[in-house]
Structures are given as C-alpha cells and as structure tokens.
Amino acid sequence: MVDWRKSSVTNGGVHLAVFEVAGSAEPGVADPRPTVLLIHGWPDTHHLWTHVAPVLAEDFRVVAYDSRGFGESDRPDGDDAYRLSVLADDLFAVAEAVSPDGPVHIVAHDWGSVQAWEAVTRPGAEQRIGSFVSVSGPNLDYLADWARDNLSRPTPRKLGRALAQASSSSYTVFFQLPVLPKMFFSVAGTPAVWREFLHRVEGTPRENVVVADTLGDDMISGLRLYRANIRQKLRNPESRPTAVPVLEVVNERDIALRPAIFADTYRHAQRLWRRNTPTGHWLPYTRPGYLADVAREFIATHSTGSRTGTSGRMDRARVFSRPNPLSGKLAVVTGAGSGIGRATARALAERGCELVLADIDTAAVEETAQESKAAGASASPYELDVSDTAAVTDFADVVRARHGVPDIVVNNAGIGLAGGALDATDEQIDRLLDVNLRGVVSGSRAFGRQMVERGVGGHIVNIASAAAFTPQRTLGVYAASKAGVLLFSESLRAELAEHRIGVTAICPGIVDTAIVANTPIAGLDATHEAAERDRLAGWYRRRGFTPDRVADDIVRAIIRDKAVVPVTAEAKIGYRIYRFTPWLSRFAARQKVTR
C-alpha cells in the first residue's frame, strides 16, 4: 500500500483532501523533482492510483486528491457545484498549492481526465500545466463536435460509429435519472460488488481494486457529474484549443468509450501524442505498471529536473493528423532487405509505425531503412541471421532495451529450396528448416514472451506460403517448412489469445521476389540449375504480382486480426481446394509440370 501524507486545499469554501506519496522528501523540505498530479474519476478516489503512484514516485514528486463529492473531500449540494468549470478551478487551486513555483504534470482517468481537459483548454493553461496524460476520459466539447459531424453528414460508417458510441454510453442516461440510480447504488454500491463487476467486465484482478470506505456514497454523489455536464456540453459545445502537451492513452476495449471518438483530437491539441492498446477502461487497476511507464516517459520528455532520461520513443506516438489504427506502433520486420519484407516495412512506415528492421544482408536492410525514413518513419537497421536461435534471442533483448517492446512483429525472413526431397542434401534441408521454420518459431517466442510480460497485447505475423496447403512433387521440403509455419501460427494464436496477442499466417502464392533467383534446385548440376532458376524467375515476373500487394494484405490482417490470409488468387483457390477437396490437391501434386 502507498504511504500517503494528507493535507487540505480549499477552493470556494470546499475543502479538498490532498495526498502526497510520503518518503520522497522530509516534511517541510521542498522536493526539487517535477510534480505529478493524479486525478481520479467516477466512482473512485485517490486510491485508484495505489499501484501507479509508487512507480511514478521513483522519479517524481507525486500528489493526488479526492475530487469534490468523493472520498475525504467535501460534498457540496446541488448539481451546479459539479460543473466542469468549477472542477477545473479545483484543479488549478490544488496545482497552485502543491507546486507554486513550477508547473504540474497531470495524469487523469475517466471524469478526472474530463475535468483536466476543461483545465488544459483554458487560455494560458500551459503556464501552470506542463503535460497531460489522458486515460479514458474525453474532452466533452470535442466529443459533442465529433457526434454532430457523424450525424449531420451521415455515411454508413459514420452512423455506425455514432450508434456504437451511443450504445456504449447508454448507461449515462440511467445515471441522469432522478431517483432510480440512487436506489440502485444504495444496494449495489459495495466494494465486493464493484470488485466483482470490474473482474467480470475486463478481467481486472480483484486484489488490485483498492476503493475507499465511502464507495457507495461516492457512487451516488458522483452522479451529479453526469447531470451537471453531459446534456449541457452536448447541446452547447465550446471547443477550445490547448497548447499543453497531451498524451491520449486510448483503450481499445473500453466498455464506455469507443476509440473512434478520439480521432479528431488532433484538430484541437497543438501537441498531441497517442498510445492505442487492447486494454479496458480501468487501466490504473489492470495494467498499472504499463500506465506508469508510459506516463513517466511522457512526463520526462516534457519536464526539467527529471532524473528519467528519454530515448526518443515518444516520437513515434506523435499525432499530426487523423490517426490510423497503426499510428505510433513499434514494428519489427525480419528479412526486411528485399521483397515482401521491404514492401512491408514501407507499408508500415506510411502508416506511422516506428520500424526495427533486420536482415542477414546489412547493406540491403540499411537501404530499406533509408527508404522508410524518406517516408517519414523512424527506422533502425540490424544484421540478423534468424537461423541462429541465440542471435534471435539477443536481438529481441536489444530491441526491448533500445526501442521498447514491439507492438507488431513480422517474421518474414525465408529462403527457398526446389527439387525432389530425395535429391536435396542434408545441409540444404537443415538450412531451410533453420531459417524458414526455426527462425519463425524463435522470433515468435522471443518477442511473444515480451508481449505477454508487458500485458497490453500485440500482433505477430508469420510469413508462410501457399505451398503449405498445395502439395507439389518438386517443393516437398519447402512445403513442409511452410506448413510448419502455418500450423505453428494457428497453435500460437490459440495460446496467446487470452493475452490479446493476435497471430496471423500470411500465405502468398506466386510473388515476384528475389527469393526465386536465389533458390537452390536439388538434383541439378550448376549449369542446369542456373538455367532453371532463370526460367522460373522470368515466369514469376510475367505473373506480375508484386510484394507491395502482399504488404497491403499484411497490414489489413494486422488491423482486422486475421488468422490465415491466402494472398494471391492461386493461393485462395488452393486453400479452399485443400480444405474441401483434398484429394484434388493430392492428384495435382502427382502431375509433372513442363513449361
């Protein structure tokens, strides 16, 4: 538990209970570190920050307070005392009292974030507020504008978004009724019921939910927030800009707030950053370590006197225009020096990802990195032989230390081997399986462990092949390696589903890449092998299916969390034949193809 040191601040005759994490400095001795102000929402108190505050206190002076109507603060009568303008006055009063000589950095959740938005959009707020981390709490003026835009010029997509958010917010209508909600929370507003509710709706560990003894009263008193502000803001929004640096932590599984409502924040916030994670509404309880790390890095980036250095990781989360689903993600791509790997790097760069690129060919991967930077992305090239399991593990550790845990991993590196299985040498088979199968397994395991430990999801893409389900007499060993990738990916997807980590197997057919020109053909002498490779490469070029089209399918698969994606026409046909009429696949595999 946190050792809180209690004091009090008065604003307009209302006494606000203020709590500072003890131990950072002796009583009466000024703490020179930047001050972080934590603000809770409904129906919480400063106890919401029980697991976040100690982590932040390692680097900052940490203060929280109970908003009026909650916990140990006063509970003035009437709805007018809970208007956002008044709550913003409370925020500034606390900020002035706890940090009179410098700005505070705000981390706020739910209604705490809503009232912080009211504060940061006041003219000159940047003089008092150094930065703002917003978690699951929109600016109600921006939300009203967003709703009007979606409803005034409706398209099926806009209307769907508006209706989805209306459904998620339907509870607020109940909260604004005069009698029923008070009766409901008089019975259901107990710590045991609340812990069970959070556990069931988003898997929050029951032991993480720390609440005040006043929970039932807080639930009822806090209903004034809904009555005093929602209808007023929706009817008469006054959207104001802010110059305060803002980080929006968008929880993609939020039961109350759909991610779409935050899409237009960039129009108002001059300095905006964004982090999307597949997490739920009560992030301070479910993933406090993650939230603390994200907030600490953002605050350190925008403060002086912090002992925490910055690595520049926040750069990838900067938002300059309407965000897309992959904006700000950290993506690792192996085999990025050419072909599908290079095209995937380019596609992810264009969608706002930071890239970590690896390939056995150093010059080639450096060229891909330069192309990615030209597209406006941050890209770091690394030399890597994925057949070396220890090297893959070390590479994953380096990525985590230098760049962070990746959100996306594309295990693309692969090689080819044609000819009969009986003609292939042991060395050829070992190399093929080490790269194509073991390399994918090693990369998935190393980065998958990191994603699980971080606890906020991610996505792994493994490049298989249509050969995985279209048996051919001259691709037996290659097909085996890719079939292994396919079934491994399906199995890993099941294993990681509970951690919100998606796994996709991409199965291209005939794609014009350099892999064909470099493929050994077992059973042929050097002269005939070179001639056959040239013939196959020419055929692939005439087919005309380019790697960028595969990359587009990879991006769509990540966004839509697809399990198996056959890419080319022949791959899609082959996938269905193998599933529904496998005898036909076996018959076709026996045929000798002459060209």
The answer to whether 90 touches 68, Cβ cutoff 8 Å, is yes
The CA distance from 10 to 16, in Å, is 6
What does DSSP assign to residue 264? Answer: T
What residue spans of 255-287 are helical by DSSP H?
283-286
The CA distance from 36 to 17, in Å, is 16
Find the Cα–Cα–Cα–Cα dihedral 470, 476, 478, 482, rounded to 10°. 50
- 384's CB contacts (< 8 A; 6+ apart) are 334, 358, 359, 360, 391, 392, 395, 413
291 bridge partner residues: none
Determine the angle formed by the axes of helices 223-235 and 84-98, rounding to 10 degrees. 120
- 113's CB contacts (< 8 A; 6+ apart) are 39, 41, 134, 135, 136, 137, 138
**Alpha carbon separation from 468 to 462, 463, 465, 495 (Å, rounded):** 13, 11, 6, 21
Among candidate residues 87, 110, 90, the one with its CA nearest the CA of residue 41: 110
The CA distance from 245 to 295, in Å, is 12
Provide the 10 A C-beta neighbour count for residue 548.
Answer: 13
What does DSSP assign to residue 593? Answer: P
The CA distance from 220 to 75, in Å, is 11
Show the tokens assigned to 580.
């529904």
Using DSSP, state whether 136 is helix, strand or coil: coil
Show the tokens assigned to 381.
């090239």
Q: Provide DSSP, 1-45.
A: ---EEEEEEEETTEEEEEEEETTSS-TTS---SPEEEEE--TT--
The CA distance from 19 to 36, in Å, is 12
The CA distance from 105 to 131, in Å, is 5
Catalytic-residue membership of 478: yes
Provide the 10 A C-beta neighbour count for residue 133.
Answer: 26
Annotated catalytic residue within 65, 478, 575, 578? 478
Find the Cα–Cα–Cα–Cα dihedral 434, 435, 440, 442, rounded to 10°. 50
Q: Which amino acid is at 327?
A: S
The answer to whether 105 touches 37, Cβ cutoff 8 Å, is yes
Q: What is the rounded radius of gyration, in angstroms, for the C-alpha atoms of the chain?
A: 28
Provide the 10 A C-beta neighbour count for residue 450.
Answer: 18
Catalytic residue numbers read 478
